[in-house]
Amino acid sequence: MSKAIAGFSKLTKEQKIEWLSQEYFSNPDEAQTLLRKYWNDDAALQQLHDEFIENTITNFYLPLGVAPNFIINGREYTLPMAIEESSVVAAAAKAAKFWSARGGFKATVINTEKIGQVHFLFNGDTNKLNQFFGEIKHRFFSGTEAITKNMKKRGGGILGIELRDKSSEIPGYYQLHTTFETVDSMGANFINSCLEQFSKILKEEALIYSSFNEQEKQLQVIMSILSNYVPNCLVRAEVSCPVDELCDDAGINPKEFAEKFLMAVRIAETEPYRAVTHNKGIMNGIDAVVVATGNDFRAVEAGVHAYASKNGKYSSLSHASIDNGIFTFWIEVPLALGTVGGLTSLHPLVKLSLEMLGNPSARELMQIVAVAGLAQNFAALRSLTTTGIQQGHMKMHLMNILNQLGASDSEKNKAIKHFEQHTVSHAAVHEFIEELRKIKV
């Protein structure tokens, strides 16, 4: 029988849950109990979350962890990280501590320019279109003053508008390629509102432009939208120290380590299969802080991976060198982030995360997030090129396995102690718990 339903969005939350549990679950009561268990007792807080999206039935938790001991441009930070993967926060904290004893992280914002485009079709004389654009360009600025007024007061606005001829790629295809400064906001709403206004102006002006023939006057706007590819909204983070100082309590040989580390980075620079995983590790750090600070991680992901392919081949976002005995490891990433607007003043935990970071400007947040990515990458490459990744990863995953096995607190404590000296694997933990339970019986 079809599960199609009309007017679902108009139902109350209770009705939605009732319908859903009856239609999709073998045990509707159990499903309903679970959904309700995740509701917040504070009705106002729950309503706030319900209203973030449509058709909310419950909350979906992610742990919010913190990684302390970050020093960024001489200032101490504890980073909020919202992420489900066991070892990520521990790895960030470890890298932070390691580098805090070696001068910390340095970060610089290279540029903060955002991009939006009006995509349109024009079948006619390109020279006339160029002339038309030159004559009406000022209208795009004056016709958006109501939208740009506040942004201008904050130091932002429309930076430039270009007419781009793309007709060699698609016949008749042109763009209004526009650059924006959106200061502390991510700027999606601001940019899209400006672009939609441009689109109106473009169509209206074309209709009354006397040099256009009838076909040229019917210029057709296909769409107006910001681009999440922001290669000029760029931040760099780096760490460096004399190679000799790369040793730590794990007793690694610093020179050997530095050379192996460099080779691991070179492999990610040249081999796309490795680069994707290498960059995924970077995104473990980036996304966790991006989510905790209420930013759009899908936009960040899309933009970052496009940037990783900017030279025509997917490659590493981070790089490393050894010059005159100095090891340097750095990353350059495009990050369009906001610390005002969006969820930033709405989600209580986002507000808390931003306060934990000292209520940063968007530029500062770009630096912090880039550092989180670099720290994560350092921790991953350090493990990969020395002990292997599984040792640390499985240690952190131990608790998940114990929870899967329904271990009690006392069983957990015994297992944690035991696996300090033994390799963690699903089978080994299973066996250990079974043995414990046999002894008890």
- From residue 97, alpha-carbon distances to 91, 241, 245, 336 in Å are 10, 14, 14, 27
Helix (H, G, I), strand (E, B) or coil at 83: coil
| Neighbouring C-alpha atoms within 13 Å toward the C-beta of 124 | 20
- The tokens for 84 are 């489900």
- The C-alpha atoms of residue 436 and residue 273 are separated, in whole angstroms, by 43
Q: Which of 13, 18, 85, 177 is catalytic?
A: 85
Rg (CA), the chain: 27
Q: Which of 186, 380, 424, 433 binds ligand MEV (CB under 6 A)?
A: 380
- The tokens for 191 are 């940019």
Q: Does 278 bind ligand MEV (CB under 6 A)?
A: yes
- From residue 189, alpha-carbon distances to 159, 196, 341, 379 in Å are 16, 11, 9, 36
Q: Which of 199, 284, 367, 385 binds ligand MEV (CB under 6 A)?
A: 284
Q: Which of 258, 290, 389, 424 binds ligand MEV (CB under 6 A)?
A: 389
Nearer to ligand MEV, 140 or 261 (CB): 261
Q: Are 304 and 311 in contact (CB under 8 A)?
A: no
Nearer to ligand MEV, 277 or 345 (CB): 277
Contact region for ligand MEV (CB under 6 A) — 100-108, 170-178, 274-282, 294-302? 274-282
Work out how close the CB of 407 gets to ligand MEV at its nearest, in angstroms, rounded to a whole number: 24
Residues whose CB falls within 8 Å of the CB of residue 291, separated by 6 or more in sequence, listed in order: 62, 82, 83, 297
Q: Does 277 bind ligand MEV (CB under 6 A)?
A: yes
Work out how close the CB of 268 gets to ligand MEV at its nearest, in angstroms, rounded to a whole number: 8
Length of the chain: 441
Residues whose CB falls within 8 Å of the CB of residue 182, separated by 6 or more in sequence, listed in order: 112, 114, 151, 156, 190, 191, 338, 362
Residue list 64-93, contact with ligand MEV (CB under 6 A): 85
Contact region for ligand MEV (CB under 6 A) — 186-194, 249-257, 277-285, 338-346? 277-285
Nearer to ligand MEV, 124 or 373 (CB): 373
Work out how close the CB of 337 gets to ligand MEV at its nearest, in angstroms, rounded to a whole number: 22
Which residue of this chain has its Cβ atom nearest to ligand MEV in the complex? 281
177 belongs to the catalytic site: no
Instruction: Give the binding-site size for ligand MEV (rule: CB under 6 A).
Output: 9
Q: Which residue is associated with the tokens 């640390």?
A: 392
Work out how close the CB of 376 gets to ligand MEV at its nearest, in angstroms, rounded to a whole number: 8
Contact region for ligand MEV (CB under 6 A) — 57-65, 276-284, 287-295, 409-417? 276-284
Task: Report the candidate in 158, 139, 128, 148 with the shortest Cα–Cα distance to residue 199.
Answer: 139
Q: Does 382 bind ligand MEV (CB under 6 A)?
A: no
Helix (H, G, I), strand (E, B) or coil at 295: coil
- CA 429 to chain CA centroid, nearest Å: 34
Do β-strands 234-242 and 173-181 pair in parallel, antiparallel, or remain unpaired? unpaired
Strand partners, 177: 117, 162
296 belongs to the catalytic site: yes
Nearer to ligand MEV, 183 or 268 (CB): 268
Q: Which of 205, 287, 296, 364 is catalytic?
A: 296
3 belongs to the catalytic site: no
Q: Does 305 bind ligand MEV (CB under 6 A)?
A: no
Q: Which of 124, 157, 187, 281 binds ligand MEV (CB under 6 A)?
A: 281
Catalytic residues: 85, 280, 296, 393
Interface ranges with ligand MEV (CB under 6 A) = 85, 277-278, 280-281, 284, 380, 384, 389
